[in-house]
Amino acid sequence: MNKTTLHWSYLNFKDVPMDLYLYEDLEEVYLKENFITTIPKWLLNVTTLKFIHLAGNNLNALPEEMYLLENLEFLDVSNNQIRELPKTIGLMDRLQRFNVSGNELTELPAEIGALKQLEELNLSKNHLKRLPIQLSECQRLHELNLSDNVNIWHIPERISYLPSLQSLSADRCALIYLPVALSKFLNHVRIFHNTSITHVPMIYEKFFQTFYDNRSKATPMSVSHDSFFWVLEKETNTSLLLPFGTRRIFSVPSLDNQVTLYDDCIRAVQYLGRFMPLWENVALKQMLPEKYIYDHIVNGPTARCTMFNCSNPLYTTYYFMAVKRRGSTSKQIFTCYFCSNHCANLWLMDNGKKYYQLDWEVCDL
């Protein structure tokens, strides 16, 4: 039988009907809101399939051989009970859109970074605690949804810095600060409903609305680390946690060119990393003279220069400002990060009428 699309949703199927195997040239199949518990092995022989929609079933796993569907571009298995993804997920090299929201995932396999064609990834409403840094190898990823993973406290900057990323959602997670290294092409952000966050990097200002000031009461941070870097903002006596990896910051105005040689070296090594993922170089960690260098290289830039026309990557030292909007009822503190005093002054020339600086001092908590 010749038919390219089957609509078999809402039919109370407990299994994928064998009749599906009879359709030649089948490309799309909709099996939403049934009671299907497994993806049968015989289905993996229907290699013409490009689109499978299995949302709202009773799946608890994906088969290891899922990659045999060599032409699959769209896979929706949202709202099931899947607890883990097979490591062979990375072999599905034509997959472009993957929705695994509303499941029971606690972690992702590192092999997900091999999905070079992946454009949309929905991981919302799971139980993830962290994201594998290898996800940053999905260079075509333009939509990432992490919302309602209540244990995620940090988005690796290398992931938020993905070159094609246009949409990032991470509402109702446990983020302790917002990543400051963002893709230049980002045009949709839903990330402000994280109640441990005390300040908003200026790079998010165009997405921020005053109603976010009325978020639920701030909650204490659920994690701690020896390398956390805190600033006390003096006007409201608020402690601000700066991006992970920060070691030293400079006020504005200040002497120019104070960024350290250490940062220049990391930037140079990162440039080489464009040609080979550095975490795949096992010997690198042993060769580097300081143990923190490897972590900085793997995680990626701490921030990007707030001066948009510059956008230089920042690592451990940078020029810092905390500001508020002039004449606004908003209590929100915005933060700015610069590669040089020169960039900071240029930004102030363009924005000094809209914002005023807040006094701050480095503090220990």
pTM listed for this prediction: 0.92
In 228-327 the beta strands, taken as DSSP E runs, fall at: 229-233, 238-242, 248-250, 303-304, 313-314, 317-325
What SS3 class is residue 221? coil
**Does residue 261 have a pLDDT over 90?**
no
Mean pLDDT of 31-49: 95
pLDDT band at 114 (very low <50, low <70, confident <90, very high): very high
Question: What pLDDT was estimated at residue 210?
Answer: 64
Question: What pLDDT was estimated at residue 361?
Answer: 95
Question: What pLDDT was estimated at residue 255?
Answer: 77
Question: What pLDDT was estimated at residue 167?
Answer: 96
**Does residue 188 have a pLDDT over 90?**
yes
Helix axis angle for 261-272 and 291-299, nearest 10°, is: 50
**Does residue 31 have a pLDDT over 70?**
yes
Measure Cα distances from 95 to 74, 177, 221, 347 in Å: 6, 31, 37, 42
Q: Tens of pLDDT along 206-260?
A: 888 765 665 556 677 667 777 789 999 999 999 999 998 898 999 998 877 777 7
Question: What pLDDT was estimated at residue 56?
Answer: 98
Question: What pLDDT was estimated at residue 141?
Answer: 97
User: Are residues 45 and 20 in contact, defined by beta-carbon separation less than 8 angstroms?
Assistant: no
Q: Indicate the average pLDDT of the chain.
A: 89
CA dihedral of 32, 36, 38, 43, whole degrees rounded to 10: -60
Q: How far, in whole angstroms, is CA 316 from its chain's centroid?
A: 21
* 301 HSE (CA, 13 A, CB side): 23
Q: Where are the domains of the chain?
A: 5-213, 248-363
**Does residue 272 have a pLDDT over 70?**
no
Q: Which fold has domain 5-213?
A: 3.80.10
User: Are residues 17 and 39 in contact, defined by beta-carbon separation less than 8 angstroms?
Assistant: no
**Does residue 345 have a pLDDT over 60?**
yes
